[in-house]
A = this chain, B = another copy of it.
Amino acid sequence: MDGWTLSYDGFEPGQEGLREALCVLGNGYFATRGAAAEADAGEVHYPGTYVAGCYNRLGTEMAGRVIENEDLVNVPNWLPLTFRIEGGEWFDLSAVEILEYRQELDLKRGVLSRRVRFRDPQGRESTLVHHRLVHISEPHLCALESTLTPENWSGSVEFRSALDGTVINSGVPRYRKLAGKHLEPLEARQVDAERIYVKVETNQSKVQIAQAARTRVFRDGKRIEPDRRAVEKTGYAAHEFTLDADKGVPLTVEKVVTFYTSRDHAITECGIEAREQLRHVGGFGALLKSHAIAWSHLWNRFDIGITANLPNRQAEHAAMVLRIHVFHLLQTVSLNSTELDVGVPARGLHGEAYRGHIFWDELYIFPFLNLRQPEITRALLRYRYRRLPEARAAAREAGCLGAMFPWQSGSNGREETQQVHLNPKSGRWLPDNSQLQRHVNVAIAYNVWQYYQVTGDFQFMAFFGAEMLIEIARFWACLANYNEELDRYEIRGVMGPDEYHDGYPDREEPGLDNNAYTNLMAAWVMWRALEMFYSLPYDKRDELCETLVVREDEIAHWEDISTKMRVCFHDDGIISQFEGYGDLLEFDWEGYRKKYGDIHRLDRILEAEGDTPNRYKLSKQADVLMLFYLFSAEELEGLFNRLGYDFDHAIIPKNIEYYDARTAHGSTLSRIVSAWVNARADRPGSWDLFVQALESDVADIQGGTTAEGIHLGAMAGTVDVVQRCYTGLETRGDTLWFNPRLPEELEDLKLRLCYRGHCIKLDMTPERMELTSLPSMAGPIKVRVRDTMHQLVPGETKVIEL
């Protein structure tokens, strides 16, 4: 283990789905699936690849309801490349005796490899070595190379190299009853002696997808030209050819594939581009070279290097898992995707779960990206900006002003949250109120503000960010009702991040009142909207006011709300998760753990018992604790004080302890937040939670959900715990703040940060931190380490003793 290679020795059929999701290789809008599924059957039969989750919708039926629009669709499978010896059966891993098996995902170079030695029923022993890449800087290219070496035999081998447009969506078992066929075949044929070609169209969104493949053959490294047979079927094209194999002489088949959709830029027609661009493309070796260079540049920018003092290679494991997380993040979004109209799907492009919808997970993902390559977050925020008209329409329909972004955002930005869901434990379909999580709107505003703080990109703020902040502030202003008696504003009938509470046990209508997270964040949004408003250039402000019809009394109203939002408390300083939380029953954690073992899905357990989580003091994920995750104590104190509430710093550990004890961690995001908020007060406890969070996907701790798609929020969140929590990094008041506190386990931490045009190398140990701003044309920046303010200019190195 070198910290850069995720490897599996031995073939384990039961681990296919997990390995498949973890070894996904893709980039931008084009992610391939399938390492372990490949292992399943030699080189064939992968479910396929995905087109960007965000612009086509699933055509699914659910409990009788047809969801008409496609959000995530498998694209034609470019991987099929298989063989059979002496006219036997096509290669099948389960029908041979496996002598050796090793699968490796090389994170550094972005290459998936597999080496299998096997003996077939006829006693023939062979080695099969396979490498695959999806090019990270040439978003239309992918390639694979497969080498078969006969070890104790000679004879004829027939190969088949295909493109398969007949794939369906079937990656999530519980969705399989729903409509899964989304591709209409348009063309499938041989182009010439080397090339085959497939073109399909998604049947609802009418996106055309074209692939062309060029297959070349080498004996002992020398190119040979076998005669090909073309197979042309509806939605499927292949080349077949037969080679004479000699004992000990490797036969290599190289397949290079181009991929275009009708939404790509700089094309005439996607089919023509797929076929023609293949002419200019080099072989596997050349592609691997440029691909590896591009990955090395990405790692320069995105790597997170930790040295830990841990037994049993745990340190190397943790370092590698962090890299796996960065790797998968970059498979989903990168500079390639900034050209496209795509968001960040909660499960990446790695599986079909959540159907490619866009959730609030951005809140956990963007802060990491902001500080590494803010161009990516800028593009992702514009993805939201483009859907502002739909969010405005949704607000209007709900009788509100401003913009109401949906909980689950589909292709054109409309609400796609399911209205019912199945409890597999009880077999019952239940109403799903999760779209009442209006707090997604604060996540978007928070991200706009964070991006702006990190970059100082006031052009973005003036043209896009301000409009989003204003419309979101308006929405909250509309939702907040003035309670004359209390002289406070209240928000009623919403859900917080804790999805185990969707209402009061004794109330008909769903939703909760005065959810602390929602109320405080709404007040914070108002405050930031005011700050932004007064800092805009006058002329731009005037234009915005005219365009959006912002009135003076509206601004005054925001001011009022941002100083009078209600927060409920109970038990002497506990921030009530929502009004009335303190009156709920305590939950019998021990009893249920004894009874059920794994109780992270308490919602399902209780519903199956005829009970409901709404009666108890329990959370799916840390709801109130989100506040300590998003804000430093200083910032939170400012917010409480502005609202006229005292803020004794002692309430922080008190609340953390209170809610930690009542959290089921039913979401992968929950442990991130708990690890974060405990990092200073309970360092060992925090480290344990962090290590658990690291395992979310690599160990599939939710028992099977990783195979349906990795958890991108948790992946980015763990990296961000290291990047921002351990360094105490904040960006506010035009200053880069550090308040470092490394866990005892960490000896050294190396990062590279982007801040206001500076590219900063950070090297931190428990005793000192070293900051180097690489030479550039950026102006000086303010850096505050603990209580000392520094100025940093490009080319300068600062060493600060801690």
Spell out A's residues near B (CB within 8 Å). Answer: 55-57, 69-70, 137, 204-208, 262-263, 265-270, 273, 277, 280, 290, 293-294, 296-297, 300, 335, 339, 341, 375, 383, 386-387, 389-390, 393, 396, 410-413, 456, 458-459, 463, 535, 537-539, 543, 546-547, 757, 759, 774-777, 779, 794
Contact = CB atoms under 8 A, between A and B. Distances in A.
B300 A268 contact: no
22 contacts: A55-B267, A69-B268, A205-B269, A265-B341, A265-B386, A266-B390, A266-B411, A266-B413, A268-B411, A273-B412, A277-B389, A280-B393, A280-B396, A293-B547, A297-B546, A375-B463, A458-B757, A535-B777, A537-B794, A538-B774, A538-B775, A779-B779
A293 B548 CA distance: 10
Contacts of A539: 300, 759, 774
A216 to B, nearest CB: 20
Give this chain's copy count: 2
A775 to B, nearest CB: 5
A115 to B, nearest CB: 29
Contacts of A794: 537
Nearest to A537: B776
Contacts of A270: 206
A776 B540 CA distance: 10
A206 B269 contact: yes
A412 B300 contact: no
A290 B458 CA distance: 24
Contacts of A386: 265-266, 339
A208 B69 CA distance: 18
B459 A293 contact: no
Contacts of A537: 759, 774-776, 794
A238 to B, nearest CB: 25
A269 B202 CA distance: 10
A262 B387 contact: no
A296 B269 CA distance: 38
Contacts of A775: 537-538
A281 to B, nearest CB: 10
Nearest to A138: B389
Contacts of A776: 458, 537
B208 A206 contact: yes
A776 B535 CA distance: 8
A212 to B, nearest CB: 15
Contacts of A774: 537-539
Interface centre among A263, A537, A774 (most CB of B within 10 A): A537
Nearest to A544: B297
Contact of A412 (B266, B293, B294, B779): B266
